[in-house]
Amino acid sequence: MSVPDFQSFFKPLLKIASDCNEHSIKEAREKLADYFKMTEGDLSELLPSGTQKTFDNRVAWAKSYFIQAGILKATKRAHFKITDRGAELYNHGHDRIDIKILNQYPEFVEFHKYKKSPSGKTKIDPPNGSTTPEELLQQSYLNIRDDLASELLTKIMDNSPEFFEKLVVDLMVAMGYGGSRLDAGRSIGRSGDEGIDGIINEDRLGLDVIYLQAKKWENIVGRPEIQKFVGALHGKRAKKGVFITTSSFSKGSKDYVEHIDPKVVLIDGTKLANYMIDFNLGTTTSAVYEIKRADTDYFIED
């Protein structure tokens, strides 16, 4: 099974704390993993940012919401204990505990209600669904990134094939192949190029080269086009090639490159746009947001 939404952790987490003993968040994660029968694959699932495990993040948010509602109290670093209010809630015997139930507690409502922040802007109410605030922020980032990728492809299609060939070489340089744009690669794109649109040094010394094919297409690239490129590579005695298109590749073309020599990498429009974003090609940063957490070491008295 996949990782449950963070509200599903509320009731089993409260049950763990119901013995009135102090528990660590590490212990809680282990018990919750057993309770939900999490596999190694489930536990290794990462948030969209790739910086934290989804399971750990959702357990932490469940504990945080309980503390805000006065159900649990933090005792020391990464440890918690049930409160009298928490014991009363547990004894109520709810089939499921969710944010709607936590809204009965004034402290929780006050913490999460719409109000002005110190900057004068209105706070955003927390989600009432399956996502944590951090996941909601990350999903919003991915949506913005998808929109940008679509915009980049549109702008590429509005330019000439010659511009696209240059872009392909620029991208390879931005990804770290060959050093500077001047000495790393060159765009060919001439008649008689035998299906080769660009050549780039794999390293600064030029010990090996990578041949490029660039297709500014809207149609799916099929196996015959890849075979022509491979034939051109054989003519150059080349070992490596990259075929980049603004469209996509057929299943046959993908299967074909898995079983041939030389090595050919296929980059479709989606990958191309995302590489441009990752390596700051044709993009500029409009805003930077930092997510910070409390430094618990700072608050420990000697």
Query: What are 186-240's pLDDT values in tens digits?
Result: 555 444 455 677 788 877 776 788 899 999 999 999 999 999 999 999 988 889 9
> CA 149 to CA 151: how far, in whole Å?
5
pLDDT reported for residue 221: 95
Contacts with 200 (C-beta within 8 Å, 6 or more apart), sequence order: 169, 172, 173, 177, 178, 184, 185, 186, 209, 210, 212
Domain extents for the chain? 6-131, 159-278
pLDDT for 201 equals 80
Q: What is the DSSP letter of 174?
A: H
Q: What is the tens place of the pLDDT at every residue in 113-141?
A: 644 444 444 444 455 456 788 888 888 88
pLDDT confidence tier of residue 2, bands split at 50, 70 and 90: confident
More confident site: 200 or 242:
242
For domain 159-278, give the fold: Trna Endonuclease; Chain: A, domain 1 (3.40.1350)
Q: What digits encode the pLDDT tens for the residues 142-168?
A: 888 888 999 999 999 999 988 998 898
Task: List the alpha helices (DSSP H) in 38-92.
Answer: 40-43, 54-68, 84-92
pLDDT recorded at residue 197: 77
Q: How far is CA 108 from the centre of its chain?
A: 31
Number of helices (H), then strands (E), belonging to the chain: the values are 13, 8
Query: Which CATH number describes the domain made up of 6-131?
Result: 1.10.10.10
- Cα–Cα distances in angstroms (integers) from residue 23 to residues 72, 112, 146, 191, in the given order: 11, 26, 41, 72
